[in-house]
Amino acid sequence: MSEKILRALMQLFAIIAKGAEQPDTRRLVVADFLQKYLNADQVDNYLQVYDSFFNELEFGTTDTQRRKKTAVSSVKVIVICNQLNEELSPRQKVFVLLYLLDFLHSQELMNEQELEFVNTVASSFNISEGQFQEMLDFADPNTDPALKANANLLSITSHKAATDLAGKRLIAESLPHPVFVLRISSAALFLIRFMGDAGLTINGQRLAKNKVTVFAPGSSVRGNTIQPIFYSDVARCFMSHRADEAVSFEVKDIQYRFKSGKLGLQTLRFTERSGHLMGIMGGSGAGKSTLLNILNGNNPPTAGKVLINGIDLHKEKAQLEGLIGFVPQDDLLIEELTVFENLYFNSRLCFNQLTEKEIADKVLQLLNDIGLYEARDLKVGNPLEKTISGGQRKRLNIALELIREPSVLFLDEPTSGLSSRDSENIMDLLKELSLRGKLVFVVIHQPSSEIFKMFDKLLILDVGGYPVYLGDPVESVIYFKRAAAYVDAEESECLTCGNVNPEQVFSILEARILDENGNPSGERKVLPKEWNERYQRLLANGKSEAVEKTKPVINFHKPGLWKQFTIFLQRDFFSKLANTQYLLINILEPPLLAFILAFLCRFSLEGQAYTLGDNRNIPAYMFMCVVVSLFIGLTVSAEEIFRDRKILRRESFLNLSKGSYLFSKIVLLFGLSAFQMLIFVWIGNTLLGIQHMHTAYWLVLFTSSCFANMLGLNISASFNSAVTIYILIPFLLIPQLLLSGVIVKFDELNPIISSRAVVPLPGELMTSRWAFEALAVNQFTRNDYEQPLYTLDRAVSLASLKKSWCMTLLNLLDEVEHSGPNVNSNWEVLCNELKAKQSQNNVAALPSLAHSDKATWDALRIYLEAVKGQGGDEYNQAIEARDRFFVEVDKQPGGTDAMNELKKKHHNGKLEDMARNPSFDAPTYQIENERLVTTIDPIFRDGVAESGFRAHFLAPRKYLLGSYLNTFEANLVVIWISTILLGFALYFDVFKRLLTGLEIQFGRLLGMKRKKQIK
Amino acid sequence: MNARILAPALLLTVIACSNPPANQEPAAATTETAKDTAAVEAIDETKEFKFSMVLADIPSPLEIINVLGKSHARFDKGLTNGTANESRYTTSFKRGLNFGVYAIDLGYLAANDQFGNIQTYYNTTKNLAGSLDATEGFNKVAASRIKNYAENKDSVMKVVDEFYTQVDQYLRNNQRLQTATHMLVGGWVESQYLTLNSVKGMENGEDLKKIKEQIFMQKLHLGKIVSVLKDYEKDKEFMPIITEMNALNSLYQAIPSSASIDDATLASLTEKVTAVRGKITN
């Protein structure tokens, strides 16, 4: 009792006594009263206080005077009470009122004046009249509360006496006399009154007959004949449950064995019903998290089962979807969004049946309930940049689950890292939930005494997964003390302050044997197994609870796949929008890079104006564009999934669609890529004067950027740390650079890999090569100048090559003639080439190549000359056609000069060098793989049918399934196909599995090595 | 000279001089008429024979350039055809003509020790050869040789002469007579243009005398060229040039002797040659 209350009481007593007829008797009563609660010194002290107050007051002798004074004193009372109102909590006010009543009842009757007086006090304390009347009746020693049954009254009786009492009832076996409980809703406490004489204690203090005592949370009524009656048992009776929300949670002999074979959880069995708060405690390595993951449905037990209302949790998961809530220790918040937004988007994923407004209202309501309403528009931030406090974060995390109102809620260490006030707040919240009918399981570490007492049941696990206690928390202290044969085993709480010390339990549990020096050694006095056996015996004596069998109502309506997709998209979009740094970098990066690139590449000849035609850096620019697009695409996406991994785990727990999530990410990233590449192309191409090709460039860069996005997402989903991901990026990009065909030509690589006829295999795998080739081919063949000329130039080139081909073969024929009739490689090449190109060389019939002899050689010579002649004719025709074109051009206004202007503006010389690859040193045709190959004029030669889709670098068309496809479109399609394949890989976690497999193999290798070393 | 001895002598010279690469058939052995497709240039052995015969003893136009170089005639860079004009030669006709022009310019530069510009002109000539599909000639003359001998006049001259000849031979041997003719015309006109414009204001002396002798000799050469050009009169593109060449020929044929070349003659020749050259390089 605090001094304030005592002083207030003294004042009030003085006022009452003053108006009484025999003030001295009253003084005796006050002394008596004080003695009940205080020690001798304090009694004297406060009596003096009382006396001083008493003497201050003046009351008249006549009736009128007295009445006047009473009126004045009433005013005084009100003044005192108002003061007290401000200083006392509702609970304390009830206490004061009780003491007053107790005081007044210490004499037999209360007179009218006194009644009025108490009434005044009650009303100024803002206690409703009805409630006050109930209190009055309840506290009146002359009335039997049973006769005045009301909604706030609970009778606790034994079975036999139950029949004739109305109203709420709680059965306590072998209770000798009834106990009545009155609920004071305004103060959230109960008043208790025992109708019998002796035998019951409350919190260690003897319950006197007819004396009204306060029944606070955490208290229990005990007796020799009865099982303890706990506060929560009483509180539960006042809760109205809906029958369809009742859930019973049965754990039937579950056991869990790790993959290594070790037992993680020993056989455990219990049943719990809704409306309970169960705590799970244990030292490190006891198996708490393992147990939690089994109970919440994540991991199935290796033996036994978990039933909810008779439905197997692990085998028939679908039926119970949404019933269970799980709040892990990790933060599941999206940092960039506000408190409201986090909860809002989460709720939209759970309540498909509500409109957006309804959901928003629900969210605000919940935020209000848990005290986060004022913080609703604050950004969540991260633990390093705190915008909201740790306690608020934790509450928000819990709110994410709460909004669904799951009937069963699991929390993993919700109070870790919080101040004691915050911890209590959270536990209060959880307790309230349990009182409202939820079943709540909490894994907790080092709870304070207050919190410890809040639990209805406590499960303690010892190292190795052994359950060693299941029951009332406060009882656990007694249980362990008894087991350790403590002298004061029956004392669970401190007698003075009511404090329970949970540490006592663990110090007994984990007590170590002392060695010869008296220091604790590493060995335990009592092994977990032994505690477990003791526990089994305890279980055997326990009672079994009734089990619900009806299917519970679930408040969880998952939206469909498409809706989930839109919600994910919105959430991600807003979160990105709110992250200013991210936005700035990703939007400014492309234009900046484009500007730098184009600016540096803008070469012009000395003293001359800039023209595209003379810019020697155009191929380099194109290559860098591709590199930039890949790089940007990769870095933007590399961390995406990694950042969300905790949230993903939760969402898989809720069985939300992974596909929708991935698809939303993809859409967002692709959109970003499109935008970035648009700016990039616009700035870069404009600066360098590349005209009329913006769309084509954008298409190519967008495609390759999307590919990089997909690749990045795959990495993001496969690795454990952000650092690893970023280290990987250069390893992915460097091959793309080298094998693009630009830095190192494909025919100049290491001879083992390089090839002239087709792009070597490593080059086929590089997106950079496909993208650059598309850009280059497009730029060369489709620019405004070359477009009308292309076919003409092509005809000339092909005819010229034909002539060279003939001459080379004629040379070969000479060599064959010199070396004699034996079949050698030259002859092979000759045959292969002639057969391959037979259809094109249709001017004469190909002689039979069956034998390598003089006759064949002569015939071949004639044939080849004929073909060469055909080539010559084709060449002349082609040249003539081309000349005609230019003659026509000359006749146009502007003539050749205008054409040349056009050429300078659209046709780049350096690119032409690359595309035509003229060679003055080497022979046109060379031998490779018993065929003739050339690297000249790649841009005019189509891919050959016999190579299938594979063609040489910069081929303008590729052959596929009987028709020729333009390289530009074909290459884009190839890149998109690879992007889609990566998408599938992402969905099926292909890379992650590969990695895990590799890790296991590697681990085994190391393990074996280590074993060998130890041996 | 006695025509009866001349013809077989020339024929022998032709056979002796024309050394086709080993795997090329001599044009005379070609009898197949299967190639009678609608080609602009049908393989006409008569034409070819005539071409070879007629032009067999015309020296390379570079010869006169050599003489010019050895003399003290003033060098004028402005006389050469600017390399920037290359982009204007879009038809094979123009390309052929100007290939000859640039090759002669290259010789002119080399003969006058103007090594700084040699690489550019070499490149231009090479490009034109490429677009004429006549690079085989260049293949035999490695580009590095130009670079290496850049500072040595005689070597460079030798290289230029070599590739000019190679290209010419290649064209002739591969039924590219028309292009060869273009080349010849362009080269010859350019050589005359350079010579005539260089002698302006030159003092009378040994040098001028030698040059005048060279100019007089062109009378013979031009006659032969014009006779070959008769076969190309049907060519619309070629026709204007041929007309000019014919007019020029009449001027040349009117010169009685090298000594009789006086300033007036030089002036009229220069004017005409410049006009033709202008048409070629335009």
Contact A873 B87 (CB under 8 A): no
Which of B35, B36, B173 is the best substitution to test chain A (most A C-beta atoms within 10 A)? B35
Proportion of chain A above pLDDT 90, given as a percent: 20
Model confidence at A469: pLDDT above 50: yes
> Per the structure block, which two tokens stand in for A80?
């005192």
Q: Which residue has the higher pLDDT, A553 or A979?
A: A979
Instruction: Indicate the burial class of A8 (C-beta count within 10 angstroms; 0-12, 13-18, 19 or more).
Output: buried
> Letter for the amino acid at A324?
I
| pLDDT tens readout for residues A344-370 | 998 888 888 888 899 999 898 888 877
Question: Which of the four pLDDT bands, split at 50, 70 and 90, describes residue A971?
Answer: very high
Cβ(A85)–Cβ(A124) under 8 Å?
A: yes
Q: Is residue B39 part of a domain?
A: no
Q: A796: distance to nearest CA of chain B, Å?
A: 9
- Tell me, yes or no, if A887 comes closer than 8 A to chain B by beta carbon: yes
Could you say which DSSP state residue A527 is in?
-
> Letter for the amino acid at A724?
T
- Tell me, yes or no, if A302 comes closer than 8 A to chain B by beta carbon: no
Contact B88 A897 (CB under 8 A): yes
Percent helix, strand and coil across chain B, each to the nearest 5: 70, 0, 30
What does the radius of gyration of chain A's CA atoms come to, in whole angstroms?
A: 45
Q: State the pLDDT at residue A59.
A: 56
| pLDDT tens readout for residues A871-924 | 888 988 998 899 889 888 888 888 888 888 899 999 999 999 999 888 766 778
Residue B198 contacts by C-beta under 8 Å, 6 or more apart in sequence? B68, B73, B74, B75, B76, B79
Q: State the pLDDT at residue A953.
A: 92
Could you say which DSSP state residue A388 is in?
S
Residue A722 contacts by C-beta under 8 Å, 6 or more apart in sequence? A639, A642
Model confidence at A561: pLDDT above 70: yes
Cβ(A833)–Cβ(A931) under 8 Å?
A: yes
Q: State the pLDDT at residue B41.
A: 45
Q: Which residue from A803, A873, A883 is facing B35, i.e. has the nearest CB?
A: A873
Cα–Cα distance, A305 to A252 (Å, whole number): 5
Cα–Cα distance, B85 to B81 (Å, whole number): 7
Burial readout A668-703 (b: 16 or more C-beta within 10 A, e: otherwise): bbbebbeebbebbbbbbbebbbbeebeebbbbbbbb
- Tell me, yes or no, if A792 comes closer than 8 A to chain B by beta carbon: no
Instruction: Indicate the burial class of A984 (C-beta count within 10 angstroms; 0-12, 13-18, 19 or more).
Output: exposed
Q: State the pLDDT at residue A149.
A: 66
pLDDT means per 10 residues, chain B with 282 residues, are: 53 47 36 34 60 70 81 83 87 90 89 81 86 72 64 75 80 80 90 87 80 85 86 84 90 84 85 91 86
Find which of A433-437, A572-576, A926-930 is predicted with most confidence, using mean pLDDT. A572-576
Q: Is residue B35 part of a domain?
A: no
Q: State the pLDDT at residue B39.
A: 36
Q: Is residue B10 part of a domain?
A: no
Q: How many CA atoms lie within 13 A of A745 on its CB side?
A: 11
Cα–Cα distance, A716 to A982 (Å, whole number): 13
Model confidence at A242: pLDDT above 70: no
Which of A605, A883, A902, A937 is the best substitution to test chain B (most B C-beta atoms within 10 A)? A883
Q: Is residue B15 part of a domain?
A: no
Model confidence at A973: pLDDT above 90: yes
Beta-sheet strands, E only, within A315-376: 324-327
Q: Please state which of the ranges A209-213, A566-570, A715-719 shows the lowest mean pLDDT.
A: A209-213
Q: Please state which of the ranges A9-18, A362-371, A427-436 shows the lowest mean pLDDT.
A: A9-18
Mean pLDDT computed over every residue of chain A:
83
| pLDDT tens readout for residues A62-76 | 666 666 666 666 777
Contact A873 B37 (CB under 8 A): yes
Q: State the pLDDT at residue B29.
A: 32
Cβ(B237)–Cβ(A887) under 8 Å?
A: yes
CA A712, A714, A720: angle at the middle one, nearest 5?
95
Give the residue numbers in B contacting A (CB under 8 Å), as ranges. Answer: 22-23, 25, 32, 34-35, 37-41, 43, 87-88, 90-93, 126, 130, 133, 135, 138-139, 142-143, 174-175, 237
What is the CB neighbour count within 10 angstroms for residue A311? Answer: 16
Cα–Cα distance, B218 to A739 (Å, whole number): 59
| pLDDT tens readout for residues A489-502 | 666 666 666 677 88
At A442, phi and psi to the nearest 5?
A: -130, 125
Of A28, A612, A546, A630, residue with least CA distance to A309: A546
Contact B35 A875 (CB under 8 A): no
Contact B91 A883 (CB under 8 A): yes
Q: Is residue B34 part of a domain?
A: no
Q: What is residue A928's three-state secondary structure?
A: strand
Set of chain B residues whose Cβ sits within 8 Å of the Cβ of A896: 88, 90
Model confidence at A790: pLDDT above 90: yes
Could you say which DSSP state residue A359 is in?
H
Q: Please state which of the ranges A86-100, A674-688, A718-732 shows the lowest mean pLDDT.
A: A86-100
First-to-last CA distance in chain B? 41
Total structural domains within chain B:
1
The residue count for chain A: 1015
Cα–Cα distance, A924 to A808 (Å, whole number): 8
| pLDDT tens readout for residues A604-642 | 888 889 999 999 999 999 999 999 999 999 988 888 888
Q: State the pLDDT at residue A427.
A: 85
What is the CB neighbour count within 10 angstroms for residue A741? Answer: 25
Model confidence at A272: pLDDT above 60: yes
Question: Which of the four pLDDT bands, split at 50, 70 and 90, describes residue A249?
Answer: confident
What is the CB neighbour count within 10 angstroms for residue A222? Answer: 20
Q: Is residue B210 part of a domain?
A: yes
Q: Is residue B50 part of a domain?
A: no
Q: How far is CA A781 from each of CA A48, A92, A167, A938, B89, rounded to the nearest angstrom?
A: 111, 91, 94, 12, 21
Model confidence at A452: pLDDT above 90: no
Strand partners, A442: A279, A411
Cα–Cα distance, A610 to A602 (Å, whole number): 8
What does the radius of gyration of chain B's CA atoms come to, in whole angstroms?
A: 19
Set of chain B residues whose Cβ sits within 8 Å of the Cβ of A807: 23
Q: Which residue has the higher pLDDT, A187 or A292?
A: A292
Distance of CA A888 to the CA centre of its chain: 70
Cα–Cα distance, A973 to A876 (Å, whole number): 38
Find which of A263-272, A980-989, B5-14 is predicted with most confidence, using mean pLDDT. A980-989
**Torsion sign over Cα B163, B164, B167, B170:** negative
Q: Is residue B261 part of a domain?
A: yes
B282 to chain A: closest CA residue: A896
Instruction: Indicate the burial class of A745 (C-beta count within 10 angstroms; 0-12, 13-18, 19 or more).
Output: middle
Q: By residue range, what is the domain housing residue B93?
A: 59-281
Of A554, A104, A536, residue with least CA distance to A319: A554
> Per the structure block, which two tokens stand in for A629?
């697009």
> Letter for the amino acid at A261?
G
Q: Based on DSSP, count helices (H) and strands (E) in chain B, helices before strands.
A: 12, 0
Q: Which residue has the higher pLDDT, A843 or A739?
A: A739
Cα–Cα distance, A970 to A777 (Å, whole number): 12
| pLDDT tens readout for residues A686-704 | 999 998 999 999 999 999 9
Cα–Cα distance, A273 to A233 (Å, whole number): 12
**ipTM value for the complex:** 0.72
Q: Which helix (H) or strand (E) holds A381?
A: strand A381-382
What is the CB neighbour count within 10 angstroms for residue B43? Answer: 18
Contact A920 B133 (CB under 8 A): no
For range A570-588, the mean pLDDT = 89
CA B111, B112, B113: angle at the middle one, nearest 5?
95
> Per the structure block, which two tokens stand in for B214?
């060279």
> Per the structure block, which two tokens stand in for A790?
């292309």
Which of A920, A921, A937, A940 is the best substitution to test chain B (most B C-beta atoms within 10 A)? A920
Residue A756 contacts by C-beta under 8 Å, 6 or more apart in sequence? A746, A747, A926, A928, A933, A934, A935, A952
Q: For the CA atoms of B39, B40, B45, B47, what is the dihedral angle to 10 degrees?
A: 170
Cα–Cα distance, A219 to A231 (Å, whole number): 6
Q: Which residue has the higher pLDDT, A88 or B188?
A: B188
Which domains are seen in chain A, by residue range? 1-127 (1.10.3680), 290-295+319-541 (3.40.50.300)
Model confidence at A400: pLDDT above 50: yes
Cα–Cα distance, A387 to A384 (Å, whole number): 9
Longest dimension (CA), chain B: 60
Set of chain B residues whose Cβ sits within 8 Å of the Cβ of A841: none
| pLDDT tens readout for residues A16-44 | 776 666 667 777 777 877 777 778 888 88
Q: State the pLDDT at residue A667.
A: 94
Q: Which residue from A814, A866, A875 is facing B133, i.e. has the nearest CB?
A: A875
